[in-house]
Amino acid sequence: MLNQTEIATPTAARRKDSLGCLSNQLHKDLEREAGDFTFYRKCRRQDNTSEVATPASDRGVLIGVSLSAGHRRRIISGSRSAMHEFDKDSVYIRNFEDDYRADLHGAFDFVLVEFSRAFIANTGYERSGTNIAGFSARPGSKDPIFGHLAQVLALALDRESEASPLFIEQLGVAIGTHLVDRYGSAPAQSIKPGRRLLSSLHEARAKDMLLAKTEGNVSLEEIANACNLSRSYFIRAFRETTHRTPHQWLLEQRIERARHLLRSSDSSLSEIAIACGFADQSHFTRTFTQLVGTPPGSWRRRAGN
């Protein structure tokens, strides 16, 4: 499950957050936890300057993606410092093993994901057959893939009631996989894994667990553990076996159940929405229209009910 902390107004009780930001200067401060991931949204409207400082720790790795242009930050390392400009889709990577100091200049709007060391180690091994030695990315460099994923994640965090924990967790896996593939440094002799499929037993078990919780709040970690697989291996194997991500597959099953209820019952659209695991009728209508091509009310009339 995702835990939520949202701070929309200044507070004197919490001066600095877990990333070293001054919380009472933030217009938006969102934090969600999901197993190996912690998701953040940090937004400041004021055009002022502040300092961020965090000591070295064993927390893992952080990727930050800028949702807007105009931010600058001076990153300080020992006696050296460098100013970096952040445009929309610009990124930076922080390894929590190192002390971090930076002066933040101007307004900013960032989506950030913190990954545990276990996730980075497991993903590196599964992607390249070796451990990740570190990450190489110049602060402020642009990455359109991260930019696109960050926009989707920002919307999901802002509208959590319509985004299942499963979907947000999959976004974390997608961002972490791209981080490892694009920026992770590994030995040249790393071994590329071949195609991986779920066994029929694991495929059936995974589908049963996805369907068992109507609200969709089963986590990928729970399913992967039940199959004795790591989360990233499970997601890749599920996709290669079914040609769908777990979230896509579950949405299709919900829509198929909704079609059955639309044809065979007199239940209202709002009742069908809840029965099929959607947040409300509006969420159901949007999803149904996107996947089927027509609103559920129109589809029901054409089906003869």
Residue 132 sits in the same domain as residue 212? no
**In this structure, are 283 and 226 located in the same domain?**
no
How many domains does the chain fold into? 3
What pTM was estimated for this model as a whole?
0.66
Q: Are residues 167 and 279 in the same domain?
A: no
The CB density around residue 162, as the number of other CB atoms within 10 Å, is 16
Helices (H), the chain: 117-128, 144-158, 165-183, 200-212, 220-226, 231-242, 246-264, 269-275, 281-292, 296-303
Residues 290 and 167 in one domain: no
**Rounded CA separation 71/105 (Å):** 6
User: Same domain, yes or no, for 63 and 163?
Assistant: yes
For residues 31 and 127, membership in a common domain is answered with: yes
Confidence (pLDDT) at 159:
85
Q: Is pLDDT above 90 for 140? A: yes
**pLDDT, tens digit, 9 for 90 and up, residues 41-63:** 999 998 888 888 888 888 889 99
Domain-embedded: residue 191: no
| 110 and 40 both lie in a single domain | yes
Same domain membership, residue 260 and residue 145: no
What is the extent of the structural domain holding 238? 200-243
Distance in angstroms (rounded) separating the CA atoms of residues 19 and 34: 17
**Side chain identity, residue 64:** G
Mean pLDDT, rounded, for 94-107: 91
Report the distance separating Cα 250 and Cα 272, nearest Å. Answer: 16
Residues 101, 72 within the same domain: yes
If you average pLDDT over every residue of the chain, what do you get?
Answer: 85
**What CATH code is carried by the domain that includes residue 94?**
2.60.120.10
CB 37 within 8 A of CB 153: no
173/109 same-domain check: yes
pLDDT at 194 (0 to 100): 57
Dist. CA 112–CA 216, nearest whole Å: 24
**Are residues 99 and 173 located together in one domain of the fold?**
yes
Q: State both tokens at 262.
A: 């639309």
**pLDDT score of 186:** 62
Q: Which amino acid is at 296?
A: P
Residue 195 has a pLDDT of 61
Q: What is the DSSP string of 92-110?
A: EEEETTS-EEEEEES-EEE
Q: Facing residues of 101 across strands? A: 53, 76
282 domain-assigned: yes
Judge if 236 and 258 occupy the same domain: no
pLDDT at res. 118: 85
Instruction: Please name the amino acid found at residue 98.
Output: D
